[in-house]
Amino acid sequence: MTILDRLTVLASPSAALRRAIQLADSGKPAEAFPLMASAARAGIVDAEYRVARCYLEGSGVPPSRVEGARWLMRAANHGSADAQALLAALYLTGLVAKEADGNGAESNQLFEPDTSGKPDFTAAFDFATRAAEAGSAVGQAILGYILTSGPKPMRDADAAHRWYEKSASAGCAEGCLGFALSLARNGKRENRVRVAKEVRRAADAGLPTAIYLLAVLTEHGLGVAREMAAAVQLYQAAAEKGLPSAQFRLGLALIDGAFVDQDIAAGEAWMRRAALAGNIEASYLLGERYVKTQRPDFAESANWYRRAAEAGHQAAARALASLYLTGNGVAQDLEEGARWLRAAANGGNQEAQVDLANLVLEGAGEPDDHASVAGWFEAAASSGDLIAAFNLGLCFANGVGVRQDEGQAAQWLRRAAEGVAEAQYMYARLLQDGRGVAPDPSQARLWFARAANAGMLDAQVALAEMLLNGRGGTREPKVAMQLFERAALDGHAGAMFALGALYGAGQGVPVSQTAAQKWYAAAAGRGHGQAQLMLGRYFSRGIAGERDPVAGRLWLERAAAYGISEAADELAELASG
């Protein structure tokens, strides 16, 4: 401090403040601070506020949040509206909090940089109100925000609108933006031009959010002329200011080439910037892009899905679960897959609820999942989801998450049968056996036919059996044989066994033990126990003309291992003989 500056301090604290402001404005903050501090210690409110800002910003003095808070509180209590508004903002961001001091009283302290405090809306409301009533446009904008977005008991849309309007009329950028949003919430078309005008005022002041919103208005022609080139420039401006939502929108536009020349590399770069800045939709879409390219990179996709999923994105959690369940890009882990499905399902994602419920039906998941399964399926089924109706029917049939009830199972399976082949088949089984519904062979035959026409092999075989025996209608052995052959050629072991039996007995076809043995062999090779028994007999006895005791014993042993008691008896006879 020069001799002149010392004399200035001694002569007049007000003069010291004026001299400090002059030095600060000329780029000499270190010389300005001692004069400003002297004026502040003398009780000049503006100096107290300026000293607080110096400490908070590290201007002319080493930064100290604690000292900044102390001087800011002192200026606020002495009536500085600027200090009150700044304190309100700090309380909202959780950077200042009330804590008890050593004497049991409350003190105000700024957190260290690595400490995340919670917003204190009560304290913020108090200081914002004081600042707003004292005429601070910034304080009015902050108060409008609290009345709009604070805890529900504090909210007052009409009061917020009035404070925003006052702040906007004073030229405060934040007030202009808040006023525009308040007008937009009214939903009146006649407000569109006024909304755009206020957003533009805030954008012209450099607010990134306002620039982004003006871009949205310009893209869609809401209150302003629709100009795609101008919209792109505005998105670019907001993106360059670091606004993640603008980076995401710009990236999406460049990737899609919707209203700007397509540039996939630049678009993905902006998308990554948005994702790394916390835009979870950008993270999710990056995951989608990596998994859906011509040469998928599942590992990279998993990284982006996880980033979005950990932030609560339900679709990303479901997608990540799929990767764990299939082992794509990550080590296969059914438990981890179920955990991410559970996170998405508990968040309300119906597709994840259905996926997790299906895992539970297959025996996976945790015990607590069972209680939720039926409820998830019922919610989806009630909204018309036929797959969910089918799965709910399975829940009632198997007692998963609900009391076993074949009547309820039949009702839900009947609903699902309108469009789900598996439900048509299962409902036909219930009608055939009289479980949960009155026996009705003719209706069972009709539902088996619908499922068979949809390509379901089990239904083709069940229908063939009914046609062969004349259950539920007239006998149609030729059609039955056609169905058995079609299902057998498609790999259905039961149909192969049936053909073996039919050729062996000459039922509906000429007797052909050679054809019978061929079909028994085909079914036996697919693990059909009864077919293995019959093939063992054919080889052991030479029924088709080819006697092979070794092969016969082998197939009888396989049938016995499946629990076929007749095979065990025949093996015992062979051993005793």
Tell me the pLDDT band of 398, cut-offs 50, 70 and 90: confident
- pLDDT, position 357: 76
Across 383-402, average pLDDT: 87
Backbone angles phi, psi at 103, to 5 degrees: -95, 10
Question: Where is average pLDDT lowest: 15-24, 370-379, 436-445?
Answer: 370-379
Give pLDDT tens digits for 280-321: 999 999 999 999 888 899 999 999 999 999 999 999 999 999
d(CA 152, CA 158): 14
Rg of the Cα trace of the chain?
Answer: 39
pLDDT at 513 over 80: yes
Give pLDDT tens digits for 365-378: 676 676 677 777 88
Backbone angles phi, psi at 529, to 5 degrees: -60, -45
CB-CB contact of 26 with 61 (8 Å): no
Q: Per residue in 324-358, is it b (16+ CB within 10 Å) or e — as a string?
A: bbeeebbeeeeebbbbbbbbbbeeebbebbbbbbb
Give pLDDT tens digits for 142-199: 999 999 999 999 999 999 999 999 999 999 999 999 999 999 988 788 889 999 999 9
- pLDDT, position 367: 67
pLDDT at 486 over 80: yes
One-letter amino acid of 576: S
| Domain ranges for the chain | 436-487, 491-577
Q: At what angle do helices 421-433 and 441-453 cross, to 10 degrees?
A: 160
CB-CB contact of 124 with 88 (8 Å): yes
Give Cβ neighbours of residue 203 (< 8 Å, ≥ 6 apart): 210, 211, 213, 214, 234
Dihedral angle computed from the Cα positions of residues 349, 355, 358 and 364, in that order, rounded to the nearest 10 degrees = -100
d(CA 202, CA 7): 44
Give pLDDT tens digits for 61-106: 999 988 998 999 999 999 999 999 999 999 998 887 664 344 333 4
Give pLDDT tens digits for 411-434: 999 999 999 999 999 999 999 999
Mean pLDDT for the chain overall:
89
The DSSP-derived string for 514-555 is: HHHHHHHHHHHHTT-HHHHHHHHHHHHHTTTS---HHHHHHH
Containing H/E element for 99?
strand 96-100
d(CA 504, CA 489): 19
pTM of the model: 0.67
pLDDT at 112 over 80: no
d(CA 423, CA 30): 81
One of 3.40.718.10, 1.25.40.10, 3.20.20.370, 3.90.226.10 is the CATH number of 491-577, namely 1.25.40.10
pLDDT at 251 over 90: yes
One-letter amino acid of 321: A
The token duo for 164 is 């925003």
